[in-house]
Amino acid sequence: MQANLTQLNSFWEDRPVLVTGGSGLLGGFLVRRLLNAGASVHCLVRDWVPDSVLLSEMQDKVRLVRGDLIDQATVERTLGEYEVDTVFHLAAQTLVPVANRNPASTFESNIKGTWTVLEAARRSPMVRQIVAASSDKAYGDQTELPYSESQPLQGRHPYDVSKSCADLICQSYAATYELPVAITRCGNLFGGGDLNWNRIVPGTIRSVLRGQPPVIRSDGSLVRDYFYAEDAAAAYMLLAERLAADRSLIGSAFNFSNDQPLSVTAVVDLLLDVMGADVEPVVLNIASNEIQEQYLDSRQARERLGWQPRFSLREGLGETLQWYRSYLEVSASPGLSPSNRSALKVVGAS
């Protein structure tokens, strides 16, 4: 089911918003929804990623601030000069294999980056609500499934630890300073605009469209939530709205999920079915430091926030497929660069 992005929400009309991580997968979806809701959007950008949805399709509609997330002076200046009311903190190093190879840079981005944003917000009197991205990985390895928000955060490997720490830091600022922050914990996000090709959804789509077999890094048995980024963006905005109206939500964390855990193999099979492809994946079985089963219970978000996903998993994969078909067709065209694809109709990205 298509989300209605054109209906103006008076809560967001002309509201100054800062999005960190706007050039990432979720950032592209969130910025688009905010713009369509009438918000005044500002994005803190460290690395210039021309092919990102933010920069290729929306950079003329937002205010871009060049700077590093861990530079508190830059974050404070941005919040102060643009009179930011609402902060969405999405920026992070999000790849587990990169965290395993480079833990220090992951800790710096994910942990220091979080306290930098929160401390800057604490010192900025205009900030009224903050939504911070945690992850299902913050729970670590648990014996009880699905994960509920009452379970302890006990990451052990570098990426998981970085998300556990960032999550707890958010809770600390809420409890100690009453900073108006709420926390999201989502499963594996997918959607058009994700150019990290080693992730299972974009990697599988690109391989099949190129006539190659898709590659599974693990043995295919790992079980996860797969959550369409359009639904995640809508959830973030809803949480910010609820937080503005209900201060009892300060410091609260919410799981967002389709409540449909699947193995990697099952997701690839479903995606191949959506694509109408008859091909056998290549299973490398080289993944390390991965938890066998992780999936979420989203009951609290449904009951306390009145939230529910708008897309089934199959519908989300179908929307995602259409985006990559358009993107890869433009990328392969000799007369067009990827940055020109905003001039074309990109199904599933609007």
Residue type, 38: G
Which residue pairs from 277-284 have beta carbons closer than 8 angstroms and sit at least 24 positions apart in sequence? 277/208, 279/208, 279/213, 279/214, 280/213, 281/204, 281/213, 281/214, 281/215, 281/216, 281/220, 282/213, 282/214, 282/215, 282/216, 283/216, 283/218, 283/219, 283/220, 284/215, 284/216, 284/217, 284/218
SS (H, E, C) 264-301: HHHHHHHHHHHHCCCCCCEECCCCCCCCCECCECCHHH
Retrieve residue 127's tokens.
Answer: 């900030």
Dist CA 23 CA 26 (whole Å): 8
Q: Residue 255: name the closest of 346, 172, 182 by CA.
A: 182
Dist CA 322 CA 318 (whole Å): 6
Dist CA 16 CA 26 (whole Å): 19
Active site residues: 159
Upstream peptide bond of 146 is cis (omega within 30 degrees of 0): yes
Strand partners of residue 18? 42, 87
